[in-house]
Amino acid sequence: MWAGLGLVLALCLLPAGGTESQNCQEPPAWRIGEEDPMWNSRGSVTVVALLQAKNTTCALPQILEDLRVKLENEGLVNISYVVVNHQGAQSRREFHLLKERVSDYITVYQQDEQQEDVWTTLNGNKDDFLIYDRCGRLVYHLGLPYSFLHFQYVEESIKIAYCENKCGNCSYTVFSYLILYIVEKKSRFDWYLKKLFQCD
């Protein structure tokens, strides 16, 4: 009981996790080549992990994959997981190692050396986790030591972004619930559509 209370208290007292960042603000614009990962994730809770490929001897990418599976098994679906590799030369050379340690459900991006550094744009550091709500607003920015996946700060932050309206109402939240309802009630929905559009 005390451990859970301590976790909640720590999350409440952290203004933006372990690093400075304004909560409930949309992130500054960033792209990887022609892709805009934040725009592509609209409507989903988005977890952005800033990882460095040269440190993939650690188990962090695999632990992130295990966390994704755990949350999915608990019913937390429609979460986008994005990993942005460091821009340095060694990290670019070892990008494939980082990509190999996660499933296809986690998108791993490699920055081009000529582009503006995404980590700098996001005011992030190695092993930071940024959790955004369905409208793309920053809910938590967790830096070390809060971003260690052996602790539950990242997991609890994702659950808060998923289950609560910490940043206020989001039109995507209603839409997400509607889609889930339709999928669960597909047979009834199909029957309704047939009745609605019958021509006889």
Secondary structure (H, E, C), 154-173:
HHHHHHHHHHCCCCCCCHHH
- The residues with which 173 forms a beta bridge, in sequence order, are none
pLDDT for 1: 47
pLDDT for 8: 42
- The residues with which 82 forms a beta bridge, in sequence order, are 48, 107
What string of H, E and C letters represents the secondary structure of 12-24? HHCCECECCCCCC
Q: What is the pLDDT of residues 60-75, one digit of tens each?
A: 788 899 999 999 999 9
pLDDT for 27: 83
pLDDT for 7: 44
Burial 11-37 (b: 16+ CB within 10 A, else e): beebebbbbebeeeeebeebbbeeeeb
Rounded CA-CA distance 50/18 in Å is 14
pLDDT for 79: 95
Longest dimension (CA), the chain: 68
Go through the chain and tell me how many residues it has.
200
Edge-to-edge strand order for the sheet containing 138-142? 106-109, 79-85, 45-51, 128-132, 138-142
Which residues of the chain, if any, have pLDDT below 70? Answer: 1-22, 55-58, 172-200
- The number of C-alpha atoms within 13 Å of 139 and in the hemisphere containing its C-beta is 30
